[in-house]
A and B are shown apart, each in its own frame.
Chain A
Amino acid sequence: MIDYQGADDEALVARLAEKDADALEALYDRHSRPVFSLALKMLGEVTAAEEVVQEVFLKLWRSPERFVAGRGKFRSWLLGVTHHRAVDELRSRRSDTSRRVAGDAEAETLRIPDGGPDPAEVAWLGVQHDIVQRALDTLPPEQREVIDLAYFKGLTHSEIAAALGEPLGTVKTRLRLAIQKLRSALETERLWAVKP
């Protein structure tokens, strides 16, 4: 009998090769909240965020070998896949300006459904959220801005430079400095393995 609640992520992913639906359900229960939240923050629309989450988990289900245990944490990988897919969607929207693009405001007025994942997991996510937010708050506003444009809006160096009317070199330097400072702040929290 497999203890799905107690099994670690890597063990559950290994079960996916056996087409074990209960393993996928356990991974969904554990990680769908941060995955959905990231997609919603980036896309600003519930329907679009749901589509991304569905794609991410079905891709995991059908091709679990894409995650290679030992190369990093499963959650980092899963959020990376989610980010990549959401950036694709944002870029597709930018090339099709006739489509409606909702802002963060829509996401903020969302009804949070009843029920949900393990309260302990939610609490832990909340702690991590607060720590990263505190680290971000130590950055100067112009550095926070480039991080927001790069990560959450999916803009490249050149696109950020064009959006801000700044030289490309300035944007590259500013983004690099911002990430280094953030990394330094997080290292002191010992929550993330940010050293190579």
Chain B
Amino acid sequence: MSCTESRELSEAAALGALDPADQARLEQHLAGCAACRRELGATEAIAEALALTAQQVTPPDRLKARIMQVVRLEARPQPVAAIRRPFLRLPALPLGRLSSLGAAAGLVAALGVGLWAFSLASELESQRQLNASLIQGLQGRDDLVQLVSSQPELMSFLNGTPEAPTARGRMYASTINDTALLLVDGLKPLPSDRVYQVWLMQAGQPRSGGTFTVDGNGQGRWVIRADEPLSRYQAIIVTEEPSGGSPAPTTPRLLTGLF
């Protein structure tokens, strides 16, 4: 290929419009011609300019969260305990204060502010419904009361996969034992023969963390009791399974969180 022909093709090449045969011939020529490489480089600025004619749209926050979750994991591979961030530590509440429904309401207020801070302002009504359901749920739920009384720390943000793009969640780990509280939002309510199942991932192997359902608003909570210290797991995922749960995931992941 001559330099003349190369330059005739370089403009279309910058836009990615060359047919495969022309592309191969051009690349062969460019490999040995610095002048034509410079010419192509200048033409690529046209492509950059064209890219900017797209209507400028800010990407959703969840995309950055998803990317940075992977990046930070790969940047500093550390034991789970070192990654826990106490910035959303809940206030300590003595168990004795939770003996009445009124005290439970106080705890729920803390949960409402602390754990569901990622709810949008427009979701205040569902927030109130959630608080009411939590108050009811706390009665007779010593496990949940005990967990939120132990100053749990935020352990993981969970992001929805393409199968459940609106889903999100947070997992709070107890600082005194191997239980964790999972809060989810944006999952679709299921028929009575289906449940959501939590999986704790250890070296790529899923260990069931129990099953739960969500209310009509797509919100749910679940206390996870791990067989082993939570620091030995690397991630949490949620799938949809038949009622009673499955021995291993049988459907695509809906939520993923890295520790």
Cross-interface CB contact of A193 among B14, B45, B55, B66, cutoff 8 Å? B45
Given A36-B59, A58-B71, A151-B50: A176 and B11 interface contact (C-beta under 8 Å): yes
B56 engages A172 (CB within 8 Å): no
B42 to chain A, nearest CB (A): 4
Cross-interface CB contact of A50 among B63, B70, B71, cutoff 8 Å? B63
State the CA gap A160–B18 with chains docked (Å). 11
If over half of B's interface residues share one DSSP class (helix, strand or loop), that class is named, otherwise mixed; here it is helix
Cross-interface CB contact of A136 among B41, B44, B53, cutoff 8 Å? B53
Give the nearest-CB partner of A108 in chain B: B55
- Write the B72-83 contact mask toward A (1 if CB under 8 angstroms, else 0): 101110000000
A182 engages B46 (CB within 8 Å): yes
Residues from chain A with a CB closer than 8 A to the CB of B57 are: 33, 36-37, 40, 107, 110, 112
A83 engages B51 (CB within 8 Å): yes
- Most chain A CB neighbours (cut-off 10 Å) among B19, B44, B45, B52: B52
A179 engages B48 (CB within 8 Å): no
State the CA gap A37–B60 with chains docked (Å). 11
State the CA gap A21–B18 with chains docked (Å). 37
A116 to chain B, nearest CB (A): 4
Give the nearest-CB partner of A75 in chain B: B48
A151 to chain B, nearest CB (A): 5
- Write the A116-159 contact mask toward B (1 if CB under 8 angstroms, else 0): 11000010011011001101100000000001001110111110
B248 to chain A, nearest CB (A): 26
A150 to chain B, nearest CB (A): 4
B168 to chain A, nearest CB (A): 14
A150 engages B71 (CB within 8 Å): no
Give the nearest-CB partner of A62 in chain B: B74
Residues from chain B with a CB closer than 8 A to the CB of A147 are: 15, 50
Given A36-B63, A72-B41, A156-B18: A192 and B46 interface contact (C-beta under 8 Å): yes
| Residue tally, chain A, CB below 8 Å to B | 78
B19 engages A157 (CB within 8 Å): yes
B64 CB–A CB distance under 8 Å: yes
**Residues A1-60 near B (CB distance < 8 A):** 19-21, 24-25, 28, 32-34, 36-38, 40-42, 46-47, 49-51, 53-54, 57-58
B64 to chain A, nearest CB (A): 6
B46 engages A50 (CB within 8 Å): no
**Residues B151-191 near A (CB distance < 8 A):** 162, 165
Give the nearest-CB partner of A55 in chain B: B67
Residues from chain B with a CB closer than 8 A to the CB of A129 are: 52-53, 56
A179 engages B46 (CB within 8 Å): yes
B203 CB–A CB distance under 8 Å: no
Given A84-B16, A158-B19, A194-B46: A179 and B55 interface contact (C-beta under 8 Å): no
Residues from chain A with a CB closer than 8 A to the CB of B19 are: 156-158
State the CA gap A40–B58 with chains docked (Å). 11
State the CA gap A51–B50 with chains docked (Å). 21
Residues from chain B with a CB closer than 8 A to the CB of A79 are: 47-48, 51
A159 to chain B, nearest CB (A): 8
A95 CB–B CB distance under 8 Å: no
B38 CB–A CB distance under 8 Å: yes
Cross-chain pairs A/B with CB under 8 angstroms, 11 sampled = A25-B71, A36-B63, A41-B54, A50-B63, A71-B41, A87-B16, A112-B57, A132-B49, A147-B15, A151-B47, A156-B18
- Other A-B pairs, 4, CB within 8 Å; known A83-B47, A151-B16: A32-B64, A34-B56, A113-B58, A179-B46
